[in-house]
């Protein structure tokens, strides 16, 4: 899937509701080539309304959750991630997918890293590129050519909720140890789908290796 193409519309995108956003995403992703700037503007145009997304916002006190909102006919996954106080992801890649992230409630911190570069086969600490605080309705974008990232809720008193769009969808990504740069594969799972809790499954070969972002 190409990151850029001719504009899909001459008008500025506007999503007055979550349903409008989903409807327009389906239209946009009918094409083989995706205009990243247009999708970014479309995601930005939606103003968070908890009444529209709270049915998908499922929290877990032990870890952040990934909650599928729309499967995008196999072209994309739209999901809501819920972050209790202090929860965060591992450092991870995006399996050659485009990732758009919009804050629906609270504040998130995104920390970006360069890809690890072992020298002479010796692992080394990962290099941080920078960090950004993302506030209500802010949209961020990343793909593997831009590096790796970790996302966390920096607050110790308020939860956070974010809307994530991945295209194309993926069910496995790589996680990285910040101290050594060591890479490990991880299955990604959904805490819920379309507002309903999904069964919790642990694979025998990787009892703890799954990633929620």
Q: Please check if 26 is assigned to a binding site.
A: no
DSSP string, 81-147: EEE-TT-BPPEE--TT-EEEEEEEES-EEEEEEPPP--BTTB--PPPEEEEEEE-TT-EEEE-GGG-
Phi, psi of 185 (to 5 degrees): -80, 145
149 annotated as belonging to a binding site for a ligand: yes
Question: Three-class SS of residue 156?
Answer: coil
Known binding-site residues equal 92, 94, 149
Known binding-site residues for Fe cation equal 92, 94, 149
């Amino acid at each position: 899937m190409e990151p850029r193409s001719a504009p899909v519309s001459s008008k500025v995108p506007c999503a007055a509701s979550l349903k409008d956003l989903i409807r327009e995403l389906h239209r946009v992703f009918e094409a083989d080539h995706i205009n990243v700037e247009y999708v970014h503007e479309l995601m930005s145009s939606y103003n968070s309304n908890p009444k529209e997304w709270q049915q998908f916002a499922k929290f877990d006190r032990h870890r952040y959750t990934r909650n599928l909102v729309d499967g995008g006919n196999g072209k994309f996954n739209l999901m809501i991630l819920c972050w209790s106080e202090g929860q965060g992801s591992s450092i991870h890649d995006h399996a050659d997918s485009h990732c758009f992230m919009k804050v629906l409630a609270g504040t998130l911190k995104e920390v970006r890293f360069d890809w690890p570069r072992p020298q002479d086969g010796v692992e080394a600490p990962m290099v941080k590129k920078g960090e950004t605080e993302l506030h209500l309705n802010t949209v961020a974008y990343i793909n593997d050519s831009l590096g790796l990232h970790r996302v966390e809720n920096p607050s110790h008193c308020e939860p956070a909720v974010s809307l994530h769009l991945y295209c194309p969808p993926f069910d496995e990504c790589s996680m990285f140890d910040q101290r050594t740069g060591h890479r490990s594969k991880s299955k990604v799972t959904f805490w819920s789908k379309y507002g309903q809790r999904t069964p919790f499954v642990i694979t025998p070969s990787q009892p703890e290796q799954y990633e929620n972002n």
